[in-house]
Amino acid sequence: MADAVSWTPPTSTEVGTVAKAALAAGLAWGLAVTFTDVDAPVLAALTAVVVVQVNVRASVRTALQRSAAVVVGVLTALAIGDALSLNAFTVALLVGVSLALTQLVLRLPAAAARQVPISVLVVLTTVAANPNQPGWRRAGGTLIGATVGVVMSLALPASRLVDGRQTVQRLGDGVCEVLQSMALGLQEPWSTDQTRAWRRVSHTVRDRLVDQAREAVGDGRNAARWNIRDRRHLTELGRYEDAMPCLERTAIGVWAIARGLDDHARLRDEPHRAMPAMGALFASLAAAIAEHVRNILGASQDAAVVARLDEVHMRRARCMQGASRRARLALECEPGENRLEVEGEWIGYVSLLAQTDRIAADIRANLPLTE
């Protein structure tokens, strides 16, 4: 599991969510004890935590929608828990009906719809553990927890500006680190042991870091209208929002490069010979992407990005000479197994250049980012 997961530093929003969940749970517990006379109001704390967690980075409308879904799930479970005996059939029936109702009938977003069956199962467990507790007290604790969670989410909303800046920076750093690792590795003979690591890390960047950045940036300009902390930063939020498609395609392209190198390495059992020109190209591409991210975040200028892209173009010209040599080898090679290997190397080499071209052209097409 340690090999399959790459740890990334948490953003301030992620740290803040942990703190808000803890505060909401404690506050909901205290209020429920005071107003419902329940010694252990687990449902109040549970509801508060779930509401806070599902409303991270959500708009006001989505936050209220998800909170309502949580409350519906809890209250439904409370009503059913005392009427039905729990067994495999009733549990399967409750989960199926609740998902069908929320996703297929009410057409709630998937994140909100999933909260209902989860809440149902957790509450049924609580009800089964405390069968003599009055239903109105359980419902009261649930409403108190939901109220605390909603108030906490609306009173202390995550800043799209800060969250977007940090996740975009983290995405850019992740992409550049993969490219720099490949650039360094290609300076010496390299093998599948290295390419597997490059492919795994680039896959993490392509999926997890892209998803986190997309969620953080979201519909930033519209969300800022309900967030007093971000109203003055509509321009920056719009810049992050407009840049995300290009950053996502860049991450996908870097993953495709890592996959191409991995496929390339598997053509032979022994380590592949060094490719210093290609390594230099990847290093210059990493520098261009880093400059592009700094530009998105307002710490660089378009001219600096263009200068880095011109360097990529220069490095690419040297690599094209290597591609031409491989093409001549493929044409001059006699038919047989060796020719297939040479042709495979040439096709792999050209595909790496094609991916590099796509990334560089995409970045250049997105300049200037501002008028």
Segment 160-182 shows an average pLDDT of: 92
Q: Is the dihedral of CA 14, 16, 19, 22 positive or negative?
A: negative
What pLDDT is attached to residue 187? 94
Q: Per the structure block, which two tokens stand in for 238? A: 């719009």
Q: Per the structure block, which two tokens stand in for 243? A: 């840049």
Judge whether residue 283 has pLDDT over 70: yes
| DSSP letter string, 83-123 | TS---HHHHHHHHHHHHIIIIIIS---HHHHHHHHHHHHHH
What pLDDT is attached to residue 140? 79
Cα 112–chain centre separation? 18
pTM: 0.73
| 249 Cβ contact partners less than 8 Å away, ≥ 6 residues apart | 358, 359, 362
Query: d(Cα 314, Cα 310) in Å, to the nearest integer?
Result: 6
Least confident window among 17-21, 47-51, 235-239 = 47-51
What pLDDT is attached to residue 15? 86
Segment 260-286 shows an average pLDDT of: 88
The answer to whether residues 348 and 260 touch, using CB atoms and an 8 Å cutoff, is: yes
Judge whether residue 63 has pLDDT over 70: no
Three-state secondary-structure class, residue 206: helix
For residue 269, the 8-state DSSP code is: S
Segment 137-158 shows an average pLDDT of: 79
Cα 196–chain centre separation? 21
Judge whether residue 189 has pLDDT over 80: yes
What pLDDT is attached to residue 253? 96
pLDDT interval class at 33 (50, 70, 90): confident
Judge whether residue 93 has pLDDT over 70: yes
Query: d(Cα 71, Cα 56) in Å, to the nearest integer?
Result: 17
Least confident window among 231-245, 265-279, 340-354 = 340-354
The answer to whether residues 48 and 25 touch, using CB atoms and an 8 Å cutoff, is: yes
Judge whether residue 19 has pLDDT over 80: yes
Judge whether residue 174 has pLDDT over 90: yes
| 211 Cβ contact partners less than 8 Å away, ≥ 6 residues apart | none
Amino acid, res. 314:
M
What pLDDT is attached to residue 216? 82
Three-state secondary-structure class, residue 190: strand
Three-state secondary-structure class, residue 188: coil
What pLDDT is attached to residue 243? 93
Segment 299-315 shows an average pLDDT of: 93
The answer to whether residues 133 and 84 touch, using CB atoms and an 8 Å cutoff, is: no
Judge whether residue 199 has pLDDT over 90: yes
Judge whether residue 9 has pLDDT over 80: no
**Of 71-75, 217-221, 246-250, 262-266, which has the strongest mean pLDDT?**
246-250
Judge whether residue 118 has pLDDT over 60: yes
| 296 Cβ contact partners less than 8 Å away, ≥ 6 residues apart | 168, 239, 240, 243, 247, 369
Largest CA distance in the chain: 88
Measured CA distances, 300 to 281, 291, 294, 354 (Å): 22, 7, 5, 27
Mean pLDDT of the chain: 80
What pLDDT is attached to residue 56? 64
Q: Per the structure block, which two tokens stand in for 275? A: 């490719």
Q: Is the dihedral of CA 344, 348, 354, 357 positive or negative?
A: negative
Cα 197–chain centre separation? 20
pLDDT interval class at 296 (50, 70, 90): very high
What pLDDT is attached to residue 14? 81
What pLDDT is attached to residue 126? 66
Least confident window among 35-44, 120-129, 266-275, 325-334 = 325-334
Three-state secondary-structure class, residue 23: helix
